[in-house]
Amino acid sequence: MVTTIPQTPNTPIQSVLIVGNYCHDVLLQGGAVVAETLGGAASFISNVLTGLSVSFHLTSKVGVDFKYPVNHDPIVVPTSKTTVFHAYFDQGYSENAHQDRVLKRVEVCDPINPSDLPDRKFDFGMAVGVGGEILPETLERMVEICDAVFVDIQALIRAFDENGTVKLVRLKESGFYHLLPRLKFLKASSDEALFMEVEEVRLWCCVVVTHGKDGCEVYWKDGEMKIAPFGANQIDPTGAGDSFLGGFVGGLVHGLVVPDAALVGNFFGSLTVAHIGLPKFDLRLLQHKCMLSNILQGSELCGSLCWKLGVNGKGRPYNARIKEEVQTRKVQGTCWLERRDDEVSFTKPAGHDEFHASLSSSKLVSAECRRDLSRSPGSVEQ
């Protein structure tokens, strides 16, 4: 039913539980279908965590019509269809809708019940439903089996009218509000944040609000911090927030402090908007060792396409500089999970801005590698 990533000497021992259904996403513009892709927050997040070599367990439900090959098998419900979303990019902005698109749920799979979750403990849990599949009792069970639970607010406040159009309800009216003090992080887009009282929620758990091209903001009980964005040529915003959350949690799993982990989240969000549907960086970049996972995982870069001039001008692998920086930060800092709630440090660490610059540089290097690979005979088909 579920597959976990094989362990290697460099794979973190901390484990993650992802809960949310796979979907079929259909993108439409001008009345015509632009693309049909694998969707659902779980698909984007598992894509990022795979790229970061993070061990995870996925609980997701689909119908017998599910049509995409995936590395982490979902629960197939014989009596149900897979959840389907239509995203309209030319219907304008309406109240409660995303400013960049109007979403309609045209099919819905069964919800995920507490009994569907594995009977074991996890370090991190991620509640990332998109079609109303996560129930209050399911989230409560996640809190019981996970040391730290991260929730995308869309899993809590999405509602659907008679036509299936996505609407948002206030967090206090969602049926999940009583669970907030038991959560660690609540992530919301700037549009979604309007449906909760950030000043109130931040007293119970950390709130992360994403602002697209303007990065994100982290709010906690005693302060707040803006995290710088990364430039991107936006083609399709679908899944950007999901990839952000995957990168954010992946950074924390690797031992980064919150501000640095949020930078990793912004990094993966910026990569995602440059693609239609699910990005393929886990294949085309990881396979050719040009990606952040090599930095975090500690593997050496190889291949003539990936060698760049090092800081000392001696041909050292370019991304090795970021790998060393991340390793140093892990040694100097203390993983937030190992500290009591009232001791979690959100202070910007020394070298944070340099870390941002290093990630930006690795993005440019990977883009050069992609261009070189696309011209080579053995290039990966996208």
Task: Please answer whether residues 38 and 70 qualify as being in contact, where contact means their C-beta atoms are separated by less than 8 angstroms.
Answer: yes
Which residue in this structure is represented by tokens 């912004």?
Answer: 266
Helix (H) or strand (E) holding 143: helix 136-145
136-141-145 Cα angle (round to 5): 150
Contacts of 294 (CB under 8 A, 6+ apart): 286, 300, 301, 319, 323
Pick the catalytic residue from 236, 242, 260, 282. 242
User: CA–CA distance from 40 to each of 127, 236, 294 (Å)?
Assistant: 12, 14, 26
User: CA–CA distance from 165 to each of 121, 156, 208, 325 (Å)?
Assistant: 36, 16, 25, 45
Of the candidates 363, 370, 353, 151, the residue with the CA atom closest to the CA atom of residue 267? 363
Task: Please answer whether residues 25 and 277 qualify as being in contact, where contact means their C-beta atoms are separated by less than 8 angstroms.
Answer: yes
Q: Beta strand 185-189 with 122-127: parallel, antiparallel or unpaired?
A: unpaired
Sign of CA dihedral 292, 293, 299, 304: negative
Does residue 242 have an active-site annotation?
Answer: yes
Active site residues: 242
